[in-house]
Chain A
Amino acid sequence: MTDLLNIKDLYASIAGKEILKGINLTVKAGEVHAIMGPNGAGKSTFSAVLTGNPQYEVTAGSVLLNGKDLLVMSPEQRAREGVFLSFQYPVEIPGVSMVNFMRTAVNEKRKYEGKPALSSTEFLKLMREKRKLLEMADKLNNRSVNEGFSGGEKKKNEILQMAMLQPCLSILDETDSGLDIDALRIVAEGVNRLKTPENAVIVITHYQRLLDYIVPDFVHVLADGRIVKSGDKSLALELEKNGYAEFE
């Protein structure tokens, strides 16, 4: 079976400063990987590079998604191929309603897959179903994207979008930051319910807390732009106890 994601010797920099220094990682369908590490290790750069953020430059290495070269694709093409990023800081878009935004997103993806666009009724029905999963209020539908949302609402809204787009690879970038324990539980349960044997999740986090709810199959320690240690979920507990000192 082809790997869902195959990263080989990935180097990347921002404004001439090298941040990723040779990342190797293989993710198979059905797996949950956690990437942990101290601040400044390159965790957010890693998600930015996988999604094609133009601020970062890939200087060497390869990334294959289902055998296809991800690095030559535009950000929107990567998204349509099934790469989803739950942003650490979801962007506010004044004047663009959640419904309009999400309907455009879903239909762009369907078009790419050769499926017909959803009608308004079909779309709203789907949105209502998925919102229940995250215990979100209907009123958010007509609000502008993320505008005036609380920290918890923004993160739930990210997972709602994940539910709507049904990606094969979801990257959760510090999804636990700024969440109280109830919102954390709802977000994590949402992610767990979206888990299938065909998709995979990469959880990027500084703390072990989220991994109590989204249990990883593998834990990797990212330090100074490299994966310096990999293990099972017990590694996360070890890090929680001993901190990142040995890697800094």
Chain B
Amino acid sequence: MATLSLNKGEQRELVFVDEPLRDFHCTQDEGSVLRLFVFNFHSAQNVLHIDHLASDCTTEIYHLVFLHGSDKVMTHTRMHHEVGEGISRQLIKFVLADNAAGEFLGELRIKQNAQHVNAQQTNRNLLLSKQATMRTRPQLEIYADDVKASHGATTGQLDESALFYMQQRCIDPTEGRRMLLRAFVMDIVENVQDETLREQLERSIDGVLQE
């Protein structure tokens, strides 16, 4: 499914787990809602392109990358507000272990006259080893003057003070790390509305965390 158009008022939730999305393109008509989930547990290249072609569209992008070994994921989001009165939210998280590498390019474009857009882009990354690397580049192109657009990107390690706090409460560091990681990634999974799918995802993530 490379190209998709959402009709007026249509609502879609799409969940992709390790599927090729080199040229995902979705156009949205008036009042449509797209909730897009992209999970990658192995190497991949994603280009996620969304166009708001009419007013009152909503897009939510939830993207989780969890890599081991020397896997690499490059993700490019292209969120284009061609018309005003739209909402977009992006929550992008990379968890990188071993020699894994991640790259995120977050392109957010708000055209001239696309007023009253509310756009958010959040990118949070966890490096679980000294060898893992993350490159992140938000790219905001905003040509309208009456919009709300925010972005934030952080890359860090698991919170050592939280781990010590957990140890002081009898929890060994292996279990503590697992709990902190689980919290970090479930923040994405819990937004999946389809219950069966959500539970399936929780199970596969618990599987990854036990490794």
Contacts and interface: CB of A to CB of B under 8 A. Distances in A.
Nearest to B179: A96
A91 B180 CA distance: 13
B179 A75 contact: no
B130 interface: no
A109 B161 CA distance: 21
A95 B167 contact: no
A131 interface: no
A80 interface: yes
B184 to A, nearest CB: 6
B99 to A, nearest CB: 26
A90 interface: yes
Interface residues of A, number: 31
Contacts of A102: 169
A149 interface: no
A177 to B, nearest CB: 17
A106 B169 CA distance: 8
Nearest to A92: B162
A51 B180 contact: no
Contacts, number: 71
Given A100-B179, A104-B179, A93 B170 contact: no
Contacts of A75: 164, 167-168
A150 interface: no
B183 interface: yes
A76 B179 contact: no
A80 B183 contact: no
B180 A96 contact: yes
A109 B184 contact: no
A112 B167 contact: no
- The CB with the most chain B CB atoms within 10 A, among A51, A104, A165, is that of A104
Interface residues of B, number: 21
Interface string A78-100: 01100011010011111110001
- The CB with the most chain B CB atoms within 10 A, among A79, A92, A102, is that of A79
A28 B171 CA distance: 27
Contact of A93 (B165, B172, B175, B187): B165
A172 to B, nearest CB: 13
B170 A165 contact: yes
Contacts of B179: 96, 100-101, 104
A53 B164 contact: yes
A105 B170 CA distance: 5
B9 interface: no
A108 B172 CA distance: 8
A84 B169 CA distance: 8
A76 B183 contact: no
Contacts of B166: 93, 101, 105
B183 A96 contact: yes
Given A85-B168, A108-B170, A108-B172, 4 more contacts: A52-B167, A79-B167, A96-B183, A104-B175
Q: Give 4 nearest A-B pairs by CB, closest first.
A: A95-B183, A75-B167, A91-B165, A105-B169
Interface of A: 51-54, 74-76, 79-80, 84-85, 87, 90-96, 100-102, 104-106, 108-109, 112, 144, 161, 165
9 contacts: A76-B173, A80-B170, A90-B165, A91-B162, A95-B183, A95-B184, A100-B179, A104-B171, A106-B170
